[in-house]
Structure 1
């Protein structure tokens, strides 16, 4: 019996050996040499142009292309994120919160976020100690921009392995198309445009691991995936789900290792580590499994014994597709692959994430916005390539022909979706402009002394965390001297005016006021 790892590795190594830099999607066996054709004279300019294009195509081969695409997307992601922050469109949840966490790590302190709650250790809510890696960088470059640039770099880095995977199956042009499609995919865009989150670490780890996995190099894949258990508690189950494609090719020992490590890490996090650091001595999100609670208002004191497990099991098929936002998310997830990803057992790795999202009563988990789908993108795109390679060997003629043309599908769909997602904002003049209210707000916030205690509204918090002593989420106000920085714009004008009047009545004095912003002080 041939010992080449698995069907994944054997199939992809075959296409790596026979792939062409010029052919998109067509199997090597189907290509034949064509007779040379003497081109008609079209002028010196045209000949030079063709020469330049040919040289560029040779130089930007499978080796350089992934890094070129990653560099381009890094610049795009970073520009988008930094411009949002410049326009004060970042928020306490979650840029301000995570900056407090990383700031604490940089000072060798426990990851406490006063925005989440006074003296609240965030490791009692989600298990993401990998954020400590940003501590040394933040110590050198303190500020929210450090987190935004780090996220842009991490997510852009995932373009490299996805493009490599595509190059083995489609050649250079096909790899370029898939790399661009992945970089523009809606799940990636939604994550980049929503402040900062710990899942930025998971995206490249998953992508690089999938690159190794498809070559049958399972120890290397596992090495890339092991840190996932330090990114977020549920990702241990994603690691365990990688056992499914291993079992299908009878790689029993690697499958057992994935399940043992992944399930053990998940159980340790939610049953031991998180409750030990949570003020309510429980996992904070059991309440999300109660269907009577909606819109993220789950009681954080809910224990596992209060979860209606029997009801969840009975309702599971229904809860995976209804309400309609759920099946639309699934449809949108698979559409960029032309549903070819369904052909690959690698797609099983999305199941844990979809289960916890769709069984939750938190409606924000169900749709295509925010950062929740970013970890699914590397899996779906890798499954697409694997599915195409499998279809090329199909006995069904129309499936083989579909696979031969499928490389263009992700790019076409991602470009069609792109106009409705955030990165397109970079093409609009308003994205590069700063409103007068932002300048006014900075005049007010500049009056806050360094190391002061401040209660700040959502848009103001990320502007203050780096230099303030303690920042809480308004209207949470700590005892003693301090400031309240309140934005008075948008839909919260009446709410803000009420609180300003209330705090003045409680002994605060107004120390600064500009259009859209007010600063109060209590001695």
Structure 2
């Protein structure tokens, strides 16, 4: 958490140009006010404690590790042993780089050498999620700080709490270790620096996303698009070019090189394969298939957590790649609100909300929208987050149940060596997973 506090500390505001469509007289914007990050750090620590309690409780109540965590443990063990990041599926070794390009897991090797068990890695996941709470709240406090410090800080803390309670983040907390935990703070830090007009830092935080998972290269490219919309042509062009190049290299060369089938398996998720990407009409047809309303419901929940105000900010464009591949996939498991798939969208949408409120304060000319953004948006977002916690039975409600703090009769198998980890069921398609319900570690 100290690293997060350092990352969000200090800012010398640049004199930037107004967003597209803003009158010339509004180009000299109020500089973000320097604030102490201590309240936001404490908020992050509070959520870290809550996430950790939930993780430890679920870990103790599980009879065995979930397949995804078991496979990631084996992958990390491969890096720790200075060998290929293989995992075993009923005794058949599968190179993890042949499924997803995720060398970021090598960062956990030093910790694995000291504490070779799943619970330690799950707590690191909680730390990264809680760190993003500090980042989002501190960014809101910095941009909203011109109308009274106490009021701005209170609004920012409420927004940070709503973010920490958001359904997308909570569904990723638990006994399953996911690569999403690395992407969430990286996206938050990159977009924070975009809002603060620190273009070099925004790019440096965005670039590592390509080492988390191959599809996040498109997220890097869209961050570049947002930077271009801010009239920073060179920085935006670099991010767009880097993201597109990274995607092509990983899915056309790196992953097929390590894959048993010699190809990128997840092309099979598109109804017509990767050729459908070349046909705009087919893409629109697949996206128009609402899947019995599941896709529309997911969109509704995503926008509801920001009071529908995130659409006012160009930052919302960064959510498009993740939503596109999910809604284009043939497997309905990607379409809904369950699982960890929406976690990386939470910092995008909430920072888009921060930007939208700031824009309405500074440049808003529509009376009712300005009043809603400045007076009602944060209370509405906080109320929605609390309501969804109860209505969707999100994990945070378990903190109020006595069973959460009661030791279970059995504990999860957390052996330090992959040989003691549970064996995963067979994978379809020559040993390669084709859906999130198969035991792929993502």
Q: Give TM-score scaled by structure 1 length.
A: 0.71
1:140 aligns with 2:110: no
Q: Which residue of the partner structure matches residue 447 of structure 1?
A: none
Residue 390 of structure 1, CA deviation: 1.3
The correspondence for 1:191, drawn from 172, 178, 194, is 172
Residue 79 of structure 1, CA deviation: 1.5
Q: Cα deviation per residue 1:430-452 (whole Å; 9 max; x = unaligned)?
A: 2233454x3xxx6xxxxxxxxxx
Residues 1:314 and 1:472: Cα distance change in structure 2 (over 3 Å): same
1:64 aligns with 2:73: no
Residues 1:90 and 1:340: Cα distance change in structure 2 (over 3 Å): farther
Q: Which residue of the partner structure matches residue 213 of structure 2?
A: 232
Q: Which residue of the partner structure matches residue 385 of structure 2?
A: 414
The correspondence for 1:287, drawn from 268, 271, 277, is 268
Q: Which residue of the partner structure matches residue 423 of structure 1?
A: 396
Task: Indicate the SS of the match to 1:386.
Answer: helix
Residue 471 of structure 1, CA deviation: 4.3
Structure 1 or 2, whichever has the larger Rg, is 1
Residue 245 of structure 1, CA deviation: 2.4
Query: Which structure has the higher relative contact order (CA within 8 Å, separation 6+)?
Result: 2
Q: Which residue of the partner structure matches residue 4 of structure 2?
A: none
1:358 aligns with 2:332: no
Residue 97 of structure 1, CA deviation: 1.0
Is the 1:158–1:203 contact (alpha carbons within 8 Å) kept by the matching residues of 2? yes
1:378 aligns with 2:347: yes
Unaligned residue ranges in structure 1 (runs of 5+): 20-60, 292-302, 443-461, 477-523
Is the 1:102–1:135 contact (alpha carbons within 8 Å) kept by the matching residues of 2? yes
Counterpart CA distance in 2 for 1:399 and 1:132 is: 47
Q: Cα deviation per residue 1:242-279 (whole Å; 9 max; x = unaligned)?
A: 13322323322122111100011111111110010000
Residues 1:122 and 1:323: Cα distance change in structure 2 (over 3 Å): same
Q: Which residue of the partner structure matches residue 5 of structure 1?
A: 16
The correspondence for 2:364, drawn from 391, 394, 399, is 394
Aligned residues: 398
Counterpart CA distance in 1 for 2:90 and 2:343 is: 23
Counterpart CA distance in 2 for 1:407 and 1:15 is: 22
Is the 1:69–1:180 contact (alpha carbons within 8 Å) kept by the matching residues of 2? yes
Q: Cα deviation per residue 1:337-361 (whole Å; 9 max; x = unaligned)?
A: 1111000001000000000000001
Q: Which residue of the partner structure matches residue 16 of structure 1?
A: 32
Residue 310 of structure 1, CA deviation: 6.7
Is the 2:16–2:27 contact (alpha carbons within 8 Å) kept by the matching residues of 1? no
Is the 1:115–1:472 contact (alpha carbons within 8 Å) kept by the matching residues of 2? no
The correspondence for 1:403, drawn from 358, 361, 373, is 373
The correspondence for 2:104, drawn from 126, 130, 137, is 130
Counterpart CA distance in 2 for 1:159 and 1:116 is: 39
The correspondence for 2:222, drawn from 238, 241, 245, is 241
Is the 2:179–2:213 contact (alpha carbons within 8 Å) kept by the matching residues of 1? yes
Task: Indicate the SS of the match to 2:340.
Answer: coil
Is the 1:286–1:307 contact (alpha carbons within 8 Å) kept by the matching residues of 2? no
Residues 1:3 and 1:122: Cα distance change in structure 2 (over 3 Å): closer
1:257 aligns with 2:257: no
Moved more, 214-223 or 82-91: 82-91
Residue 226 of structure 1, CA deviation: 0.9
Residue 209 of structure 1, CA deviation: 1.3
Q: Give TM-score scaled by structure 2 length.
A: 0.84
Task: Indicate the SS of the match to 2:184.
Answer: helix
Unaligned residue ranges in structure 2 (runs of 5+): 1-12, 20-25, 145-151, 427-442
Is the 1:113–1:122 contact (alpha carbons within 8 Å) kept by the matching residues of 2? yes
Counterpart CA distance in 1 for 2:372 and 2:31 is: 17
Is the 1:114–1:471 contact (alpha carbons within 8 Å) kept by the matching residues of 2? no
Residues 1:247 and 1:306: Cα distance change in structure 2 (over 3 Å): closer
Counterpart CA distance in 1 for 2:37 and 2:306 is: 24
Q: Cα deviation per residue 1:419-473 (whole Å; 9 max; x = unaligned)?
A: 221121121112233454x3xxx6xxxxxxxxxxxxxxxxxxx615424636452
Counterpart CA distance in 2 for 1:280 and 1:214 is: 43
Counterpart CA distance in 2 for 1:381 and 1:274 is: 33
Alignment of 1:424-439 (within 5 A): 424-436=397-409, 438=410
